Structure 1
Amino acid sequence: MSDRPWIVDDALWAVIEPLLPKWPKRSPGPRPVDDRRCLQGCRRRLKSGPVATRES
């Protein structure tokens, strides 16, 4: 097992990528984050569990 289980390998990305909507060539605002990186960030957050909060 990998020490970074949130990484989206090529086989998984080949399944997921066709399901995502395409970005328009020109859109207002800042450039969007790469879809693969965004998915990896979501998976990392889900794998890491809840974040401890400070009570004031």
Structure 2
Amino acid sequence: MHGHPVFILKHNVHGYPSCIKARYVCKGFTTILGCDYHKTTSPTARLESFCLLLHLVATFS
């Protein structure tokens, strides 16, 4: 299935950026009847998890 990334920048009460969210959105109109309907997921990861992954890669590579 085809799609596109969506990025959202959230701000705190003072107007400064506080959170960046990213996700991949599938184009539902490109699904094939009986084939693509049961394989949709929406994986998300926290920034802390991504930083931990980068740390582990830098440490052990």
TM over 0.5: no
Q: Which structure has the highest strand share of the two?
A: 2
Greater helix proportion: 1
Structure having the higher Rg = 2
Higher relative contact order, structure no. (Cα contacts within 8 Å, ≥ 6 residues apart): 1
